[in-house]
Amino acid sequence: MKRFILILFLPIFLGASSPKKTPDKVNFYTGTLTSALEKAKKEGKLVFVDFYASWCAPCQLMDEYTFTDSNLAEYMDDKFIPIKINIDDFDGFAYKNQYNINLLPTLLVMNCEGKEIERKEEGLVPSKLSAFLQKNFIPSNICSKPASIASPAPPVIEEPSKPVIDEPVSPKPSVPDVPKPPTVKPPKPTTPPSTTTTTSKPKPNNLQEGLFRFTVQRQPSKGYSVQVGAFGEYGNVLREVYKLQKVFPSTPIIVFIGAKNGRTIYKVLVGEFTTRTKAHDYKEYMKRKGSSGLIKNLEFMQ
């Protein structure tokens, strides 16, 4: 009886003392970029962003050979919040313009404020990506610095015998980038400056933060409009509406709020038209102005 009890409880004690399981591949964060930045700030980490597209061959090779390296995955899990952004999906196109993505894959390291630290515009094997990450994971780049940062960095991962990925690929042609709102320089002071100055922490320019003024009213579910984009983050909706209002100042901008797979989706549309023909004519006009879209029947928006 005593022997039976010992055998019964032995696996429990062994399981309690087992070490943390090493990830066999990079576990990419599935939330939004905004929430990834917040998570990085809370945990004292940096954010690693992989800009990709489904048609990008070097991106596919990185998924197959680079992000499946267990040593790289372990280091990434400890020091970074990794996230993938598809430039053809929801907010991806907005982030493509925001971070000036011209080649795929583009690999970005940024701090918790969304400020870019360094980028690589090429596919990398595990050892080169590991060296790139270790180079940038230094205390001065961290928003909040936990004690774990003081620990020595792991050795550079040895080069695996896997295909080398070093060919950058240009993405498919897309809508031309829209220039960012101009920066207004403050007027020169008319009085001599005081000897004591107060400085405030500047906000990152690439987030295009600031004040927006707008009014909201219900849109009747009838007629047609031209949908120009779908977004998952409301900040991108505001920036898109601001951009469209500058290009089409006399045309109403409509935002449809819906849900897909438990996630809120915002669809931005331009104009309200009584017939599909009128919507088509305006779509062609928008195309000449550098914006593309799809004709939508407002009665069946979902």
User: Average pLDDT, stretch 92-96?
Assistant: 88
Is the pLDDT assigned to residue 196 strictly greater than 90?
A: no
- My answer on whether 135 and 28 are in the same domain is yes
- Per annotation, catalytic residue among 37, 59, 101, 230: 59
In a domain, 293, yes or no: yes
pLDDT tens across 16-46, in order?
555 667 789 999 999 999 999 999 999 999 9
Catalytic choice (56, 73, 109, 241):
56
User: What pLDDT is stored for residue 157 in this prediction?
Assistant: 52
Confidence of residue 261 (pLDDT cuts 50, 70, 90): confident
User: What is the predicted pLDDT for the residue at 141?
Assistant: 94
Q: Is residue 11 part of a domain?
A: no
Domain boundary among 150, 171, 186: 150
**How many independent structural domains does the chain possess?**
2
Question: What is the predicted pLDDT for the residue at 235?
Answer: 83
Residues 112-126 have pLDDT tens digits of 999 999 999 999 999
Pairing of strands 80-86, 46-52: parallel
Task: Answer whether 0.75 is exceeded by the pTM.
Answer: no
Same domain, 30 and 146: yes
Task: Check whether residue 39 and residue 132 sit in a common domain.
Answer: yes
Domain of residue 64, residue span: 22-150
Does residue 189 sit within a domain?
no
Question: What percent of the chain stands above pLDDT 90?
Answer: 44
Final residue of a domain: which of 119, 150, 181?
A: 150
Q: Is 112 a catalytic residue?
A: no
182 has pLDDT over 80: no
Residue 281 located in a structural domain: yes
CATH number of the domain within which 288 lies: 3.30.70.1070
Range among 16-20, 170-174, 204-208 with highest mean pLDDT value: 16-20
- CATH assignment of the domain containing 51: 3.40.30.10
136 has pLDDT over 50? yes
